[in-house]
């Protein structure tokens, strides 16, 4: 059986989630580390949240620093630099619906990667961190599958 055709290689990728505070900045940092410098990678949310310290902590565990990330919305992004992405990867239902609305008349590919939001997991700190690690590791796996077999440093 032949392998499925590989998706085309984009030049500019946007990760979108609900608040640009956990999933999308995590995914953007992972992709930036895995791909050549020629790929433009950005993240945004439907609404603006606050950067989550647990997301910062689990990224620090693998040698990536997202502590300076400033969450912003898709509207902020459009105002700041325009909207020139050829691939949008949505990580939450509200982001997926918004991306489909925004790209209805554009030649932009939209992919939906349902990613559980670790925010709100109850219990002791280690259980909460485990939820964030699972989110991070799930995104890392999906990114590898989508963008090819590239190694990630500090694994």
Percent of the chain at pLDDT > 70 equals 88
Q: Does domain 12-146 bear CATH number 2.60.40.420?
A: no
- Domain assignments of the chain as residue spans, ordered by start: 12-146
The closest alpha carbon to 108, from 139, 80, 83, 79, belongs to: 83
Using one digit for the tens of pLDDT, what is the confidence trace for 42-62?
999 999 999 999 999 999 999
Distance CA 75, CA 152 (A): 31
pLDDT, the chain, mean: 88
91 pLDDT higher than 70: yes
pTM tops 0.85, yes or no: yes
- Per-residue pLDDT at 63: 96
- Per-residue pLDDT at 122: 85
């Amino acid at each position: 059986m032949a392998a499925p055709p590989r998706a085309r290689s984009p030049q500019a990728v946007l990760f979108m989630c609900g608040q640009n505070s956990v999933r999308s900045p995590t995914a953007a940092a992972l992709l930036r580390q895995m791909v050549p410098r020629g790929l433009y990678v950005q993240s945004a949310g439907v609404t603006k949240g606050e950067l989550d310290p647990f997301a910062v902590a689990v990224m620090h565990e693998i040698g990536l620093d997202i502590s300076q990330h400033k969450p912003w919305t898709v509207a902020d992004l459009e105002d700041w630099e325009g909207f020139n992405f050829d691939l949008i990867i949505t990580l939450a239902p509200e982001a997926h619906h918004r991306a489909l609305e925004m790209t209805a008349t554009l030649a932009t590919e939209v992919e939906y990667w349902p990613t559980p939001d670790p925010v709100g997991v109850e219990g002791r700190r280690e259980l909460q961190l485990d939820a964030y690690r699972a989110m991070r590791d799930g995104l890392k796996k999906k990114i590898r599958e989508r963008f090819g077999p590239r190694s990630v440093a500090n694994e």
